[in-house]
């Protein structure tokens, strides 16, 4: 008897995955619990385990395969005592990278379904096209080497025109200048040998897809406020110099730890800001679950019930999540949920910036660098250390007055940090 090995859904938003590595080869014995492959999801690289035992008789999708759909058969396991054969319904051969993703470059225009018998499209694009009764041969792909991907099919469904095939040097008409070019059209703008091509990993493709979706579907508006960091920095220095117990080293709290706690208690004071838009309703949450950008902003795991945690607990948890992110060991549950995000680029010297909302959150705080600033107090010039916070808000669920109140509450907590310790 043959058992199909299916690509599992490893995160709530996962639709496709990439086969990074097979840890078993054809003919190997497989036991229940054995790690058989590594899969790159839209969030991280994950290991998948065997739920049955037998012999790996066939690898359907080899290493390097991209955009394999969830629940697609990726391998065949021959049960113990059964014949080693392929299961019915499995394709005779999975597309290889060479045939499915990268076609030889040509000097002429991109080939489409009208000029070749084969249409190059991702499995997800094919599925959507089938559901929407769209002829893929009529579309121009915007993926690698002109491959048709999900956004091309969705553009056709919504009535937007496909990517233009404009010769280099030809001026686009004004109404068409905002239409995205596909990969081949962009490549033809540059001299061969003047660049190197870097393959997109699942994380970068997911980030690109999510930020486009957020900017297209969420009506952003922005508010900024300046916070005096003097008292916070003084308290942080005192706490970091204090050894709480003889058997433990002093704490190493960061400014970001204080910011997370300040936002958490502010959201509790203004529960109407602790919400998300759910299309036909609004969800209001009991606890402050906040996504914190780590590892340079590539990952945004969620810190749960942040209002209930001490600064030391918040600091330890953020460090732990950052380490797991760098090792690609974050679990799908680490990303899900939350109603707000924090992105701190202050350590890179950015004074202020307007971050894009992390769907489905209601807002995100962009934290700038702590800087020496000259201000007027009691008619006298005074030097302070301050930073700028920019809040990007979803106007569907937050209005300007509510956002301003939340920022003011947050500022009060930052400038009176003893409130954070109580």
Q: What is the mean pLDDT of each run of 10 residues along the chain (422 residues)?
A: 85 81 92 89 80 90 89 88 48 39 34 48 79 83 71 72 42 45 84 89 82 94 97 94 74 93 98 96 96 80 95 94 85 88 94 95 97 93 96 97 98 94 79
Q: What are phi and psi of 149, to 5 degrees?
A: -120, 180
From 267, 260, 333, select the one nearest 292 (Cα to Cα). 260
| Contact in structure between 17 and 68 (CB atoms under 8 Å) | yes
Among candidate residues 106, 128, 125, the one with its CA nearest the CA of residue 116: 106
Task: Tokens for 6, please give them.
Answer: 């299916």
Q: Is the pTM for the entire model greater than 0.85?
A: no
The span from the CA of 422 to the CA of 409, in Å, is 16
Q: What is the pLDDT of residue 292?
A: 94
How would you class 384 by CB atoms within 10 Å of its CB: exposed for 0-12, middle for 13-18, buried for 19 or more?
A: middle
Helix, strand, coil distribution of the chain in percent, nearest 5: 30, 25, 45
User: Is 287 a catalytic site residue?
Assistant: no
* Maximum pairwise Cα distance, the chain: 90
CA–CA dist 346, 313 (Å, integer): 22
Q: Which of 133, 287, 361, 395 is catalytic?
A: 395
SS3 218: coil
What number of other Cβ atoms are within 10 A of residue 351's Cβ? 11
User: In whole angstroms, what is the distance from residue 11 CA to residue 43 CA?
Assistant: 8
pLDDT at residue 239, rounded to an integer: 92
* Residue located via tokens 């997109």: 200
Q: What is the pLDDT of residue 328?
A: 79
Does residue 344 have a cis bond before it (omega within 30 degrees)? Answer: no
Could you say which DSSP state residue 152 is in?
H
- Which domains are assigned to the chain? 2-93 (2.40.50.100), 101-200 (4.10.320.10), 218-421 (3.30.559.10)
107 three-state secondary structure = coil
């Amino acid at each position: 008897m043959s058992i199909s090995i299916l690509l599992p859904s490893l995160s709530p938003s996962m639709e496709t995955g990439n086969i990074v590595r097979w840890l078993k080869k054809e003919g190997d014995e497989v036991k229940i619990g054995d790690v058989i492959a590594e899969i790159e999801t839209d969030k991280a690289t994950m290991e998948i385990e065997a739920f049955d035992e037998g012999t790996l008789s066939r690898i359907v999708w080899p290493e390097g395969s991209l955009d394999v759909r969830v629940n697609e058969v990726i391998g065949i396991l021959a049960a113990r005592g059964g014949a080693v054969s392929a299961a019915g319904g499995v394709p005779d051969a999975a597309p290889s990278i060479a045939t499915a993703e990268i076609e030889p470059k040509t000097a002429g225009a991109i080939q489409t379904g009208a000029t070749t018998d084969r249409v190059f499209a991702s499995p997800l694009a094919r599925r959507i096209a089938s559901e929407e009764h769209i002829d893929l041969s009529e579309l121009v792909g915007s993926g690698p080497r002109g491959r048709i991907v999900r956004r091309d099919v969705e553009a056709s469904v919504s009535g937007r025109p496909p990517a233009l095939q404009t010769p280099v040097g030809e001026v686009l008409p004004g109404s068409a200048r905002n239409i995205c070019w596909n990969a081949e059209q962009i490549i033809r703008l540059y001299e061969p040998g003047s660049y190197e091509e870097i393959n997109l990993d699942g994380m970068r493709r997911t980030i690109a897809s999510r930020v486009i979706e957020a900017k297209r579907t969420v009506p952003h508006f922005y508010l900024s406020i300046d916070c005096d960091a003097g008292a916070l920095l003084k308290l942080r220095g005192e706490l970091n110099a204090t050894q709480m117990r003889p058997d433990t080293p002093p704490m190493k709290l960061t400014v970001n730890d204080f910011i997370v706690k300040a936002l958490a208690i502010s959201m509790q004071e203004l529960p109407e800001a602790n919400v998300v838009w759910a299309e036909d309703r609004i969800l209001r949450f009991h606890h402050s679950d906040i996504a914190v950008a780590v590892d340079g902003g590539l990952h945004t795991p969620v810190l749960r019930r942040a209002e209930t945690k001490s600064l030391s607990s918040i600091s330890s948890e953020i460090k732990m999540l950052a380490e797991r992110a760098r090792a690609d060991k974050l679990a799908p549950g680490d990303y899900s949920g939350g109603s707000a995000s924090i992105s701190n680029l202050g350590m890179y010297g950015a004074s202020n910036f307007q971050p894009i909302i992390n769907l489905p959150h209601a807002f995100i705080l962009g934290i700038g660098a702590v800087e020496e600033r000259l201000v007027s107090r009691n008619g006298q010039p005074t030097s302070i250390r301050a930073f700028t916070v920019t809040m990007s808000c979803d106007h569907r669920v937050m209005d300007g007055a509510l956002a301003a109140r939340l920022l003011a509450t947050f500022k009060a907590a930052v400038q009176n940090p003893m409130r954070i310790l109580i």
